[in-house]
Chains A and B, each alone.
Chain A
Amino acid sequence: MKDSEYVLEMKNISKSFPGVKALDQVDFYVEPGSVHALMGENGAGKSTLMKCAFGMYHPDEGEIFINGLPVQLTNPREALDHGIAMIHQELQSIRTRSAMENVWVGRIPYRKAFGVHWVDDKKLYQDTKALMDDLGINVDPYAKAGDLSASQCQMLEIARAVSYNARIIIMDEPTSSLTEAETNLLFHIIRKLTAKGVAIIYISHKIDEILEIAQNVTIMRDGKIVGTWPAADLNTDLIVKRMVGREMSNRFPEKKHRPAEEVCLEIRHFTSAGSRGFRDINLSVRRSEIFGIGGLVGAQRTELVESIFGLRAISEGEILINGKSVIVKSPEHAIQNSIALLTEDRRKSGIFPRFSVLENIVIAKQSADTSVYKKGIFLDNQKRAADAARFAEAFSIKTPSLKTEIRFLSGGNQQKVVLARWMLIDPNILILDEPTRGIDVGAKYEIYSLMEKMASEGKTIIMISSEMPELLGMSDRIAVMCEGHLSGILEGEKATEENVMYLASSYKNAEKVLN
């Protein structure tokens, strides 16, 4: 057996998805008994790399060594057998079963009698109890997983990982749903594990946490490794600079619109009806303005705009349009008030896959005002076709015909169809949630041009984006959210990548960058 100073070595890993090179010759080494932080912006390739290590993805090229021995991981089961466990961002406990069953699911201890495997409840309980006592986890093994808090579920996941005798535990944003006290408890357990020689790979956006718990930090950007440093040599500014550090190229149309003085949309004290949602958001957006909203995944940006559009309930707050208070309880109200929303997930809530391009374009207008497309009691197909053709032309939608089902179009063209759907109702306020996600560069530029054109025509545009260059390149002002709070609004020279990243990872010390 060959000795190695690393428990996990990933060498020269590359992985492509259609249209994207997610990982490009990545080298990643983890020492035993250490906490190794993995950082980077959304889409930098962190999760993809970890899914390769856990056998969920198969790298196109590259090798993986565990304790110096090469391994082929074709599924998570094999990764577990090799001592690698992963705790996912969305916890996957079986809510209706007990804590102990959740820990041992798939490997429930049994006794054999009369040729049948009977569950050995006593051993199940004792094994779980011993495991939890050892880690200092305080959870009743009999409790139903559904009754446990997010932090307790997290502890269960850790117990499960340890029960596989894992030598490497990957944690993907483990603290995203934990309070500060719960985070401290997690850190306590992490230190116990590392003392036993377990290596932890810790993915997080929270810089303060990483500086506290990690020994080594690897930073990724655009599918490549920027570098690995001892945490002791790093500080917040350095980390942000290294995560961002890319050049801005001329990927955006020339800015022609000029925001007007008058406020078009104002929201006051907006608070989500959900217990973990956004809190007390105050914003005002002007006419002819492109207003960006930045932040990390989970910052509640989508939830905020969906509440403005009436898709989600708020417990408190007010919407003013052109200074007048309006009530928006459903998308119908929003559309009546001239608000449109391009949703984040095109497949889930954007396109009607089996509908033609034509139907997809006219659907919102047709429902908003049933009289427009009527000829007697029937639909006026000529008028519908004329409108659809006009917008398909204006948005340069590439489709064999207007009768083609939308599912046969490329992502970028589908997005343009949905955008055309909203422009057809001629809204004053257009909210775009990740308008260029998953579409190619050329189509992106076209969508930017369309946004620019709409803003010049006096429309108000609110754009959520997780892509830093897009956010900086397109927005007049940028609101940055963090954990449901509005960290601050950046404008002019203050709107830099560093400041956005800073506000996105913390809302508490916002004054530092705002003043």
Chain B
Amino acid sequence: MEKQKKFSIQHFFMNYALYIIMLIMIVIIGMMSPKFFSFRVIRDILMQSSTRIIVAMGCMYILVSGAADLSGGRTVGLAAVVAGSLAQKSDYYIKFWPNLPEMPLIVPVIAAVLIGLIVGLMNGFTTAKLKVPSFLATLAVMMIAYGANQLYCNKPPNNSQPLGGFLKSFSNLGTGSFLSVPYIIYIAIGVCSFQHLLLTRTCLGREIFACGSNQEAARVSGINVYKIQMITFALAGACYGLAGCLEAARTGSATSGYGNSYEMDAIASCIVGGCSMTGGVGTVFGTFFGVLIFNIINYGLTFIGLSSYWQWVVKGLIIIIAVSFDMRKFSKEE
């Protein structure tokens, strides 16, 4: 009886390590600076997290399907620049497309998502059709996307300067709010809900998990693995594209350097949130909190006056702690 109880406490700690860490951090930061528990702070953290959440969601499709994706960050950058270039005021002094009329909001958004989709399909084609291992395929596509971005930005009259002078409607998408909650938080939650339903409640979702869990068995069971890989990369690309567009709208600017290293943060968030690098495991809730935990550190450490350089050390430690707990949990069950 005694033993049983002890075991379950241990089990509880292992299962909810991520949430416990998050709670402890919030409590510590809150004790040092009680103002941390304010609506404004929570809103700021969520707002900063929202584009990261969308990138992490895209990355999660790939990890769950058993592949890796390094192209996320640069796709965000490319989409941000393309969206920005289509959302400028007509009187801006270095308008990217000088003869382009002012576009309705939907145009830059669709263009960004399309760009992401194209990059995603390139990833999918290289991985699924050309059989290049996904790590390398997406590394190569990431380079191509970054190169394309720089070439695009260098077009006169822009000549690689940051894009600015966005239309009010576009900026409003990133900074405006409804009931004091920014639009982008609604959008991020919308993306999460969509993905949660897709992964848990649809046939396609089951097949994505199946491919990641045991690709050979999936093939034998009559699942079209090629199709699934194309779909996951396309979905991921669309997420990156959307995130890029929102990032430009939120910051009111866009350069080819946008999105740099977002893919690594996204992978780290997914892993800390319980995704497996070998595929077939992961939840939207886990990934969501994985992103939040990193952003709380980011914000919280600055909030209590610590050098923001510390965040890197803390982030690294959290990855190690979360994953080692997960490994122990897994080996126990085996």
Contact of A355 among B203, B209, B220, B223 (CB under 8 A): B209
Cβ-defined contact, A349 with B213, below 8 A:
no
Question: Is A370 in the interface zone, CB < 8 Å from B?
Answer: yes
Question: Is B280 in the interface zone, CB < 8 Å from A?
Answer: yes
- Complex Cα gap A307–B222 (Å): 14
Question: Is A248 in the interface zone, CB < 8 Å from B?
Answer: no
Q: In the complex, which of the residues A334, A349, A408 has the most CB atoms of chain B within 10 Å of its own CB atom?
A: A349
Give the contacts of A362-388 with B (CB-CB under 8 A): 363-364, 366-368, 370, 373-374, 377-379
- Complex Cα gap A407–B332 (Å): 13
- Complex Cα gap A512–B224 (Å): 47
Q: A353-B214, A370-B203 are in contact. Are A343 and B220 (CB under 8 A)?
A: yes
Cβ-defined contact, B213 with A355, below 8 A:
yes
- Complex Cα gap A373–B204 (Å): 12
Which A residue's beta carbon lies closest to that of B217?
A349
Q: In the complex, which of the residues A309, A363, A379 has the most CB atoms of chain B within 10 Å of its own CB atom?
A: A363
Q: A354-B213, A354-B280, A355-B210 are in contact. Are A379 and B220 (CB under 8 A)?
A: no
Residues of B within 8 A of A330 (CB): 224
Residues of A within 8 A of B221 (CB): 331, 363-364, 367, 421
Question: Is B206 in the interface zone, CB < 8 Å from A?
Answer: yes
Contact code string A322-349 (vs B, CB < 8 Å = 1, else 0): 0000000011101100000101000011
Q: A331-B221, A367-B221 are in contact. Are A359 and B206 (CB under 8 A)?
A: yes
Cβ-defined contact, A332 with B224, below 8 A:
yes
Contact code string A143-176 (vs B, CB < 8 Å = 1, else 0): 0000000000000000000000000000000000
- Complex Cα gap A277–B93 (Å): 70
Question: Is B107 in the interface zone, CB < 8 Å from A?
Answer: no
Contact of B197 among A364, A373, A378 (CB under 8 A): A378
Question: Is A510 in the interface zone, CB < 8 Å from B?
Answer: no
Q: How far is the CB of A403 from chain B (nearest CB, A)?
A: 14
Question: Is A139 in the interface zone, CB < 8 Å from B?
Answer: no
Cβ-defined contact, A379 with B201, below 8 A:
yes
Question: Is B4 in the interface zone, CB < 8 Å from A?
Answer: no
Residues of B within 8 A of A332 (CB): 222-224
- Complex Cα gap A428–B135 (Å): 41
Q: A367-B203, A373-B203 are in contact. Are A351 and B217 (CB under 8 A)?
A: yes
Cβ-defined contact, B206 with A379, below 8 A:
yes
- Complex Cα gap A42–B206 (Å): 38
22 A/B residue pairs, CB under 8 Å, sorted by A: A311-B219, A332-B223, A341-B220, A343-B217, A348-B217, A349-B214, A349-B220, A350-B217, A351-B214, A351-B217, A352-B209, A352-B214, A354-B280, A359-B206, A363-B210, A363-B218, A364-B221, A367-B207, A367-B210, A367-B222, A370-B203, A379-B201
Which 6 residue pairs spanning A and B have beta carbons closest together? A349-B216, A352-B213, A335-B222, A378-B201, A364-B221, A367-B223
> A-side interface residues toward B, CB under 8 Å?
309, 311, 330-332, 334-335, 341, 343, 348-355, 359, 363-364, 366-368, 370, 373-374, 377-379, 407-408, 421
> B-side interface residues toward A, CB under 8 Å?
197, 201-203, 206-207, 209-210, 213-214, 216-224, 280-281, 333-334
